[in-house]
Structure 1
Amino acid sequence: MLHPRIKQTIQILISLAIAVWIFWFLYKDIEFNSLVEQIFSSNWAWIGLSLAIALGGYALRGWRWTLLIQENEGKKVTLSDAYHAVMVGYLANMIVPRAGEVARCGVLSRTNGISIGHLLGTVILERSIDLLFLIATILLAFLVENELFLNLAGQLVDLDNLGTKLLQNLPLVMGGILVFCLVIYFILRRFRDNGFIQKVQHFLRELYSGIKGISTLKNPMGFWLSSVVIWLIYFLTMCTVALGIQSTANLSSGEVLLVMVMGSIGMVAPVQGGIGTFHALVAFILIQLGISEVDGKIFAAIIHGTQVILVLVAGLISWVIMIQKPAWIKPDKS
């Protein structure tokens, strides 16, 4: 049986290999000169503004995190502490997928003496809320660009014939839905002691109790408002980059929202920094919006590349600052 560290290393290398392969497959036919030409012809005032907005978003993430951290253990977490820990987490994600959550908790636990368990609980709640906002953003994009969504779906399925067949077989469809719901119910009942089922149920219970718990915070309005603004910042970051590149400068706000949604889904993939998956999904939707394949891929490369550089620089600075801070020592009450 493989040692856990060896197994983890293999998993990291596999995810990195997949990311690199996707990236290579996408860009193997793109001439380097085309990329360089697009970089120099871009309006870097807009792209620079996008980086400033993104940095503000990271700081806001840090502030939102402080709202969830209880003050009855360890040293009070300042905005500076939370921001630097968040940036260390993003830096860790560039190396090991999903390691950032543990890394930022470890950093803050060391410097502020707060238990890892409590910090991980706040991060899980954060991620759950972000997932809900991602789903809400996808629904918003569908409402704004429903015609494009339907066109894309129509390329995969004949929607007209599908709708006709559903109406013709409505009793059968309703019966099928009822049977499906009953099967799911009996599976949950039959395998309620199964580890996976228990984990799903535990996650849903924790999510529900976590959302209820937000109302007991000292500043629940601040939490929800900052969550909305964080996603608005994602949108503004995408907008400013689009304005800075000639091929995408004329995209409507709804189209930019759709690009943002695809990019967000690409970043969720378990690969280092969304490499490959982000580029593939963003380029795909831009091509559907009428942008040439080359320009779509170059846009994805520019926005992802600039954000990666920002995370590397800001993350390294935060890492240096945090490792220089002394470890928190619990005061002796005797």
Structure 2
Amino acid sequence: SVFVAFLQHTGIKIPSVLHLLTSVWFYIALFCFIGVVILLYYLRKTLFFYERVKGFVLNIWEGIMSLKSVRNIPLFIFYTLAIWACYFFHFYFTFYCFAFTAHLGMIAALIMFVGGTFAVIVPTPNGAGPWHFAIISMMMLYGVNVTDAGIFALIVHGIQTFLVVLLGVYGLAALPFANRHRK
């Protein structure tokens, strides 16, 4: 009786609450709500995008934490910047190999390089596809026709990929010699 008096005093009428709890529509809505919550829970656990983002963030965190084991941080930073500078200058100097890009300046190269770098983040082998799309689109903004831009993108990407493979094979072949001298 105390609870009934409290509920009536606060404006909640017992017959309307009881009518709600005995309504078929209430249980249908409750069942649907519970089903959606369960579905979202399992989708969150198994959803490809969720796992992909989670793995990406964990890999970045692991990479950042691995810097603790680097013995010479300034040298590491220097090599990192030098590698990116070599990539950029390779991209920029290639402008002078073609008449249709020779007039583009360093700022245009930097803009295209940054855009292409972000396009490589898309999970494809060596950025093939998204990188080409980004470079072709940006070159068209600078007045280069689509065919010439496509030729440029294919040649530059092909040379860069070949260089990475070549240096990777060299590194793989040189690794036993470098490890033998350390022992």
TM range (shorter): 0.5 to 0.7
Corresponding letter in the other structure for 1:230: I
Partner of 1:227: 80
**Structure 1 CA distance, aligned partners of 2:149 and 2:57?**
41
Instruction: Kindly report the root-mean-square deviation, in angstroms, between the aligned alpha carbons of the 2 structures.
Output: 3.5
Partner of 2:5: none
Partner of 1:245: 98
- Quote how far apart the aligned CAs of 1:208 are: 5.5
Secondary structure at the counterpart of residue 103 of structure 2: coil
Partner of 1:170: none
Partner of 1:292: 145
For the pair 1:257 / 2:102, whether they are aligned, the reply is no
Inter-CA distance 284–313: structure 2 relative to 1 (3 Å threshold): same
Task: Select the residue among 150, 155, 171 that pairs with 1:302.
Answer: 155
TM-score, length of structure 2 as denominator length:
0.56
Corresponding letter in the other structure for 1:293: V
Number of positions where the alignment pairs a residue of Structure 1 with one of Structure 2: 132
What CA deviation, in whole Å up to 9, does each residue of 1:252-292 have, x standing for no partner? 21110111112222333222222222211110111112111
Counterparts of 1:61-210 in structure 2 under 5 Å?
206=62, 209-210=65-66
Corresponding letter in the other structure for 2:111: L
Partner of 1:274: 127
| Unpaired runs of at least 5, structure 1 | 1-190
What CA deviation, in whole Å up to 9, does each residue of 1:37-75 have, x standing for no partner? xxxxxxxxxxxxxxxxxxxxxxxxxxxxxxxxxxxxxxx
Partner of 2:6: none
What CA deviation, in whole Å up to 9, does each residue of 1:212-259 have, x standing for no partner? x27xx5422111222222222221111111122111111121110111
**Structure 1 CA distance, aligned partners of 2:57 and 2:146?**
43
**Structure 1 CA distance, aligned partners of 2:94 and 2:156?**
7
- Quote how far apart the aligned CAs of 1:296 are: 0.9
> Once the two structures are aligned, what percentage of the paired residues are identical?
22
**Structure 2 CA distance, aligned partners of 1:227 and 1:262?**
19
**Structure 2 CA distance, aligned partners of 1:286 and 1:234?**
18
**Structure 2 CA distance, aligned partners of 1:311 and 1:199?**
25
- Give the greater-gyration-radius structure (CA): 2
Corresponding letter in the other structure for 1:271: T
**Structure 2 CA distance, aligned partners of 1:253 and 1:287?**
16
- Quote how far apart the aligned CAs of 1:321 are: 5.5
Secondary structure at the counterpart of residue 248 of structure 1: coil
**Structure 2 CA distance, aligned partners of 1:276 and 1:198?**
24
What CA deviation, in whole Å up to 9, does each residue of 1:148-176 have, x standing for no partner? xxxxxxxxxxxxxxxxxxxxxxxxxxxxx
**Structure 2 CA distance, aligned partners of 1:198 and 1:275?**
24
Inter-CA distance 199–270: structure 2 relative to 1 (3 Å threshold): closer
Inter-CA distance 321–208: structure 2 relative to 1 (3 Å threshold): closer
| Unpaired runs of at least 5, structure 2 | 1-40, 46-50
Corresponding letter in the other structure for 1:257: L
Corresponding letter in the other structure for 2:155: I
**Structure 2 CA distance, aligned partners of 1:297 and 1:201?**
33
